[in-house]
Amino acid sequence: MNIAIIGSGYVGLVTGACLVKLGNKVICVDNDAKKITALKKGILPIYEPGLEELIKDNLKRKRLYFSSSIKEAVKASEIIFIAVGTPDSGSGEADLTGVEKVASEIAVNLKEYRLIVEKSTVPVETGAWLKKTVTTYIKGKVDFDIVSNPEFLREGSAISDFMHPDRIVIGVESKRAKDIMVKLYKPLNAPVVVTNIKSAELIKHASNAFLATKISFINAVSRICDIAGADIGEVSSGMGLDKRIGRSFLEAGLGYGGSCFPKDLDAFISIAGKLGYGFRLLEEVKKVNESQMSFLIAKIKDALWIIKDKNIGVLGLSFKSDTDDIRHSPAIYLIKSLQKEGAFIKAYDPRAMEKAKVVLSDVKFCRNPYAAVSGCDCLLIATGWDEFKKLDFVKIKKLLKRPLIVDGRNIYDPEKMGKLGFSYISIGRKGA
C-alpha cells in the first residue's frame, strides 16, 4: 500500500521504516525542513538500534521518501498516519495543537477516500474531534474514515517491538476501515484487537498508566525491603513468577522517565478529571515515582555526609539504556540536584552526551567510564547500559578517591561488590 506518516519523530520514523519492511511504500512528512533535509541523506535525529540502517537501505531502494509537504503525502497515499507530538500543555493536559493542524491540512487536501489514522498518543475522544475537524475543513464531498491505532513500541527496542507486537489495536467506525487496517498488519501475524475508537484510545493511556503503576508499586516495595532488610530482586522474582502478575516491569530503580509515562500519566489524570473521575491512584503513582529520586539523593548524602565540593562520577544520562533520549531522565534530575548541593559532576553515557550537553551546565563530559570516575568520591549508576555491567572494577577502585558505588539501577551483585572492597549502595537490597 501507499502510506503517509505525518510527523517524523520517534513513533513516526519507526512506523514508517517498519511499514516499508512489510512491503509498503511510505512517505514520511515533517514540518521541520532541516530534519527532512537530513533524513533524505539518511541522517537521523535520534538513536534507535537498527533504525539508521533500515532507513538508509530503503531510501536507496526508493521505497521510503521524506517530504515537507502534507499535500504531496495525501495525494500519494491511501492511509495517512498522524504521528505528531502531543506534549504536555503545561497543565498536565495533552497539547493537541499539532494533531489539529495536521488534521485540517489533510482535510483541505482530500480529493478521494482516505483513511486517517491517529497514531500519536491522545486522550479519549480525540478521534471524535478529528472527525469534526476533517469534516469542517474538507472541500466538497469526499469520504474518509478515522481510525485509532495506538503504538506500544519502546525506545531502545522499537523495531523489534513493532515487528513482533503482543497485539495490534485498531479502533474503527466502519468495516471498510477495519478491512484496510487488518490487511496492512496481516504480514505481522499478530493478534488484532478491533474496538471502537474511544476504547482504542483508552487502551493506550490505560496500558501506559498500568505499566507506570507496576513500576511505582515495586519501587514502593523496595522501600520496605530497605527498611526490613529484604531483597527486592528476590521479592520481584517471587512475585513475577505468578503468571497473573508477570515478571516484566518489576525492576526497582530510580523510577520511570522518558517521553511517554510522565506525560501520558498527566494526560490520563487530566482527561479522567475532565470527564468527572478523579484518578487518585495515578496521582499516588506519580508521587512514588518522584520520591524515588529524592530517596537516592538521601542515600548518597548518608554515605558522603557532605555533598558540597565532592566529585561524583555519573554513568548514564539517558532515561534508560539503548537510547539517546534524555527527556524526563532521572539521571539529569539527579545531576541537577547534586549540583544544587555543591557537587562537581563528571559524566559518561555511550549515546546521550550530545543531548545532555544542551540541558546541563558545569558537567565534565568524559570519553569513557573510567575517565568519569577518576578522582571521584562516589560512582553513581544512573542508567543500566550493558557497557556498565562489564567494567573493570579493579581499575575503577584504583581510580576512585574512595571506593563508593551508589547504584540506582541495581545492576551489580552486592556480594561481589563487597568482596571487591567497595562500599556498595543500591535500591531495596542489603548494601556492602
Binding site residues, ligand UGA, CB under 6 A: 121, 151-155, 208, 211, 215, 249-251, 253, 256-258, 260-261, 264, 319-320
Shortest spacing between CB 191 and ligand UGA, in angstroms: 16
Residues 6+ apart with CB under 8 A from 41: none
Active site residues: 260
Nearest residue (CB) to ligand UGA, 109 versus 329: 329
Shortest spacing between CB 219 and ligand UGA, in angstroms: 7
Nearest residue (CB) to ligand UGA, 134 versus 215: 215
Q: Are 326 and 350 in contact (CB under 8 A)?
A: no
Shortest spacing between CB 120 and ligand UGA, in angstroms: 9
Nearest residue (CB) to ligand UGA, 215 versus 360: 215
Nearest residue (CB) to ligand UGA, 137 versus 279: 279
Residues 6+ apart with CB under 8 A from 97: none
Shortest spacing between CB 158 and ligand UGA, in angstroms: 8
The grid coordinates of residue 265 equal 500519566
Q: What is the 3-state secondary structure (H, E, C) of the chain?
A: CEEEEECCCHHHHHHHHHHHHCCCEEEEECCCHHHHHHHHCCCCCCCCCCHHHHHHHHHHCCCEEEECCHHHHHHHCCEEEECCCCCECCCCCECCHHHHHHHHHHHHCCCCCEEEEECCCCCCCHHHHHHHHHHHHCCCCCCEEEEECCCCCCCCCHHHHHHCCCCEEEECCCHHHHHHHHHHHHHHCCCEEEECHHHHHHHHHHHHHHHHHHHHHHHHHHHHHHHHCCCHHHHHHHHHCCCCCCCCCCCCCCCCCCCCHHHHHHHHHHHHHHHCCCCHHHHHHHHHHHHHHHHHHHHHHHHHCCCCCCEEEEECCCCCCCCCCCCCCHHHHHHHHHHHCCCEEEEECCCCHHHHHHHCCCEEECCCHHHHHCCCCEEEECCCCHHHHCCCHHHHHHHCCCCEEEECCCCCCHHHHHHCCCEEECCCCCCC
Nearest residue (CB) to ligand UGA, 200 versus 307: 200
Residues 6+ apart with CB under 8 A from 63: 20, 24, 25, 26
Shortest spacing between CB 225 and ligand UGA, in angstroms: 15
Shortest spacing between CB 410 and ligand UGA, in angstroms: 10
Measured distance CA(157)–CA(154) in Å, rounded = 6
Nearest residue (CB) to ligand UGA, 109 versus 383: 383
Nearest residue (CB) to ligand UGA, 254 versus 400: 254
Nearest residue (CB) to ligand UGA, 246 versus 375: 246
Shortest spacing between CB 72 and ligand UGA, in angstroms: 27
Shortest spacing between CB 263 and ligand UGA, in angstroms: 9
